[in-house]
Structure 1
Amino acid sequence: MAIVQLMEIAIARSGDKGDGSNVGIKARTPALYQFLKANLTTEKVAEHFKEICFGPVTRYELDNIDVLNFILEDSLGGGGTETLIMDAQGKVHGLALLHMEMDVPDALLG
């Protein structure tokens, strides 16, 4: 097992809609997708974003493209037009999640 940042095994794309954001995590291989599907839970994502996400986290599995999509409700302080937070947009949440550390089996790291 090795502790790695998520960015070593996946890529991300994120955005915002109103007061919520979405983060799509694409595994680099089908085997890594199966690992992430079993281990990258809504609870872990909620914990990672606990300072900014005050609503529920929902996960959608897109098995045909090896992607997990997370919806982070109440994560933008009201959204771009309602908040006093500087640059309150979800586009940075993908990069923020890629900094999460995970304990990954060596066999999956190639």
Structure 2
Amino acid sequence: MSTVDSYADVRAGDKGDTLILDVLARDQAAYDLLAGALTAEAVAAHYALDLTGPVVRRLLPGVRALVFVLPGALGGGVTGSPVLDGHGKALSYHLLGYRVPSRLDGPA
């Protein structure tokens, strides 16, 4: 097993109290692997946050990216959250540690 960090970079952004994660695969094989492993349900379980709605996943095959929207993940957002990381930038690193089967492991 490998982690997302082996196959992609992750960027985080925010819109209000919604966390937006962009997973940018390094090549087509990595995109195919991550598109199979990183479901909306898997990402929701990995973060285990008290969200205000379901995690939404969008596939962008033209740029080999996956976008995840986690509503309510930032506890009020930049101006309303008492947490240190109101933008959620550090939360991108958490997804890099998600374990996925390596290309040699075969199907999960």
Task: Indicate conservation of the 8 Å contact 1:52/1:76, yes or no.
Answer: no
Q: Encode CA deviations 1:31-70: one digit per residue, 9 max, x unaligned.
A: 1111111221001000011135453110111110100000
Give aligned-pair identity as a percent. 34
Number of the residue aligned with 1:8: 6
Number of the residue aligned with 1:25: 23
What SS does the corresponding residue of 1:90 show, helix, strand or coil?
A: coil
What SS does the corresponding residue of 2:49 show, helix, strand or coil?
A: coil
Per the TM alignment, residue 107 of structure 1 is displaced from its structure 2 partner at its CA by 7.5
What SS does the corresponding residue of 1:74 show, helix, strand or coil?
A: coil
Q: Which runs of 5+ in 2 are unaligned?
A: none
Matches within 5 A, 1:42-81: 42-51=40-49, 53-81=51-79
What SS does the corresponding residue of 1:24 show, helix, strand or coil?
A: strand
Letter in 1 for 2:73: S
How many equivalent residue pairs?
106
Letter in 2 for 1:73: P
Alignment TM-score, normalising by the size of structure 1? 0.87
Letter in 2 for 1:15: G
* Structure with higher strand content: 1
Per the TM alignment, residue 26 of structure 1 is displaced from its structure 2 partner at its CA by 1.0
Task: Indicate conservation of the 8 Å contact 1:18/1:79, yes or no.
Answer: yes
